[in-house]
Structure 1
Amino acid sequence: MSIRSNFPSAPAVTGEQIAHAAELLDAGQLVAFPTETVYGLGGDAESPEAVARIYAAKGRPANHPVIVHLAPHGDPNYWVEHLPADAQKLIDAFWPGPLTLILKRAAHIPAAVSGGQDSVGLRCPSHPVAQALLDAFSARRGGHGGVAAPSANRFGHVSPTTAQHVRDEFGDAIHVLDGGPSDVGIESTILDLSRGFPALLRPGHVTPQELADVLGVAPRLPDGSDATAPRASGTLKAHYAPRTPLALLPFEALEPILSAARDAGERVALVARKSRAGRWASADGVHFVAAPEDPHAYARELYSLLRALDRADVSRILIEKLPDTIEWIAVNDRLGRAAAAFEAQG
């Protein structure tokens, strides 16, 4: 038996490789594996020791929760105090898929996965390799195994969307299942249902409108004013950052910066939609990257693009600010947090 992703060029993962990875998880070790969003750094969600290894490997603060990944036939009721009707509606509509639900954590689930909070984040990925691994691990745990898996990168850095990205981060220290490139390319949508109303904590591929269509009510959108929101993965102000300094500005504000850099002999990267780039697409000293015009395509390419620019011979990455519309909310979220990492330094 072999498992292959939707990408024709993706390597096949054998049943033996899946069984070995599940055995490592069962022994408390870490395994990096592909999901449709990004690659995850997985450990046994019910083992505080395994979760501690995840935090240590990433350099992640211990109060920053991780998401528990469930097999397609896993029972979310095992993990939560109560499964609300709205949660079941969303599970029926979007699982397996890139939606994480925040719910009240069951008392027997260790607080380590929640950063000490009384909530827990759950999702069921759609990537076939992830599903095979989760099925195999769950079978070892009587059908209730879950894998805690934040993105498989150093904390705050660009998330990985290929197995090579994971190896670039950790070398041979982490066992990696190679399932080809991630299809969605950014982390899951996170919706909080732990407080009796739906609140979007992190935008992603599943849009606010799609959530509203299922729930019959629009979720509260993140605006910085939700003081009672639980902490959730990837919601710190500065996150998803490359190592090369990055600035996110309207294109009109980028042009004088580009002019000054050219006059100073500085080589910079420009990421912009081709329809906006104009003369700068072929200007001397500018490493131009034509960004997709479509939000989903942009999201799919974003992290690979940032990692490639870290390897380019440029002093800065200048990125065109995208339209402030609901279609671009997820990409704007990731770009804004990446830029904030350098604003904080300044």
Structure 2
Amino acid sequence: MEAKDTKIIKINPHNPEIEKIKEAAEIIKNGGTVAFPTETVYGLGANALADKAIEKIFLAKGRPQDNPLIIHISSIDQLNNLVESIPDRAYPLMDRFWPGPLTLIFNRTKIVPDRITGGLSTVAIRMPSHNIALELIKYSELPIAAPSANTSGKPSPTNSSHVIHDLLGKVDMIIDGGSTGIGLESTVLDISGEIPTILRPGGVTIEDLLTILPKVEYDKALEITDREIVPKSPGQKYKHYSPDARLIIVKGEVDEIIQKTNNLYSKYESKGMKVGIIATKQTYDKYRGKNIIIAGDRNMPETIGASLFNILREFDELKVDIIIAEGVEEKGIGKAIMNRMRKAADGKVV
């Protein structure tokens, strides 16, 4: 496939043009690949029930075959063919968080291809809240498998330019639906076992889930190295979200973060390296004269989550050698932000 073989179409995210949606849906029905926006990040979609279509996702992304995919649906009825049963605890979760950025892991039926699940007995499913995504699934009349629409291991795409950069000439269609909202992939919650377990933190926080469920745990795999686990969820294994530059996270009290960041900046710059800083609204003026991008407001961490992947890509364009990123408090969506930062930094935290 060449660049000219990828069709790019613009669709209004607030009021999607149905004829354009139908054109994209025909590609899905015919076994092709369509990149489309969701409320989290852009996804690369294909028919979730067709092995050949799923294989195109792995090839386009350069994705490891044992990394499971999430299936996207547009109605609860679509669950019936995909899961063995719907646990009682799932219903209040779906009532509250679907459509939205929560992926649930169920025991799967045989209709779900092994390529989707990495050979596991479980399957990850969510219902996105983005208008374009919902209409595309609806008119495709199929569940759609859709990992993030980027080259595997690189920062996830939060606008169409990121998708075009990574996948032009590798997919059949790219839908330009503007910027995504949350900017971090969905929370993945395994409800197939005894205790509901978060395999990947995201826009739905543990605090949110505990308003519905009496007990929720974080998966122990979030704290250990990639090589020790068999992934049950996207994002559990392999270095993820990685910019071209080396990323270092600085944690601690804000004054300590500022001092350490300035020291690291001077250290690497003295070695002739080009250094970037990911700062916050509260701290950017402490780095005057340096190469800074403001991620958002410390008091509103969702603003940091929404911009993180875009900033990593901006620093790639600036050809920096080192990125120093301020850590955030690990509560609420801060847990998801730090999870993505650690993956991008390959665990390098000071």
Q: Is this a same-fold pair by TM over 0.5?
A: yes
Distance in 2 separating the partners of 1:290 and 1:179: 24
Q: CA shift at 1:235, angstroms?
A: 1.5
CA contact (8 A) 2:68 2:231 kept: no
Q: Which of the residues 259, 282, 287 maps onto 1:275?
A: 282
Gaps of 5+ in 2: 1-9, 252-256
Report the counterpart of residue 249 of structure 2 in structure 1: 248
Report the counterpart of residue 4 of structure 1 in structure 2: 12
Report the counterpart of residue 91 of structure 1 in structure 2: 94
CA contact (8 A) 1:209 1:218 kept: no
Report the counterpart of residue 204 of structure 1 in structure 2: 202
Distance in 2 separating the partners of 1:102 and 1:127: 21
SS at match of 1:200: strand
Distance in 2 separating the partners of 1:266 and 1:274: 25
Query: What is the alpha-carbon root mean square deviation over aligned residues?
Result: 2.1
Q: CA shift at 1:313, angstroms?
A: 4.0
CA contact (8 A) 1:101 1:121 kept: yes
The aligned runs of 1:1-346 (5 Å cut-off) are 4-6=12-14, 13-72=16-75, 74-138=77-141, 145-174=142-171, 175-215=173-213, 217-224=214-221, 231-236=232-237, 238-250=239-251, 251=257, 252-280=259-287, 282-283=288-289, 286-293=290-297, 294-340=300-346
Distance in 1 separating the partners of 2:204 and 2:230: 20
Distance in 2 separating the partners of 1:163 and 1:3: 11
Cα distance change, pair 105–26 in 1 and its aligned pair in 2 (3 A): same
Distance in 1 separating the partners of 2:170 and 2:42: 16
Q: CA shift at 1:238, angstroms?
A: 1.9
CA contact (8 A) 1:58 1:155 kept: yes
SS at match of 1:126: coil
Q: CA shift at 1:265, angstroms?
A: 4.5
SS at match of 2:199: strand
Report the more deviating stretch, 251-260 or 14-23.
Answer: 251-260
Report the more deviating stretch, 238-247 or 98-107.
Answer: 238-247
Report the counterpart of residue 9 of structure 1 in structure 2: none
Report the more deviating stretch, 24-33 or 291-300.
Answer: 291-300
Report the counterpart of residue 142 of structure 1 in structure 2: none
Distance in 2 separating the partners of 1:230 and 1:195: 15
Amino acid at match of 1:207: T
Report the more deviating stretch, 198-207 or 245-254.
Answer: 245-254
CA contact (8 A) 1:208 1:218 kept: no
CA contact (8 A) 1:58 1:153 kept: yes
Cα distance change, pair 327–59 in 1 and its aligned pair in 2 (3 A): closer
Distance in 1 separating the partners of 2:229 and 2:96: 27
Amino acid at match of 1:204: G
CA contact (8 A) 1:32 1:177 kept: yes
Amino acid at match of 1:257: L
CA contact (8 A) 1:29 1:43 kept: yes
Report the counterpart of residue 7 of structure 2 in structure 1: none
Cα distance change, pair 278–312 in 1 and its aligned pair in 2 (3 A): same
SS at match of 2:100: coil
SS at match of 1:53: helix
Q: CA shift at 1:184, angstroms?
A: 0.9
Q: CA shift at 1:279, angstroms?
A: 3.4
Q: Please, what TM-score do these two structures have when normalized by structure 1?
A: 0.88
CA contact (8 A) 2:67 2:237 kept: no
Report the more deviating stretch, 147-156 or 292-301.
Answer: 292-301
Report the more deviating stretch, 269-278 or 179-188.
Answer: 269-278
Distance in 2 separating the partners of 1:36 and 1:14: 18
Report the more deviating stretch, 289-298 or 157-166.
Answer: 289-298
Q: CA shift at 1:228, angstroms?
A: 8.6
Amino acid at match of 1:33: F
Distance in 2 separating the partners of 1:45 and 1:339: 32
Paired residues in the alignment total 326
CA contact (8 A) 2:295 2:311 kept: no
SS at match of 2:89: helix
SS at match of 2:338: helix
Distance in 2 separating the partners of 1:240 and 1:136: 31
Report the counterpart of residue 141 of structure 1 in structure 2: none
SS at match of 2:346: helix
Identity score, percent: 34
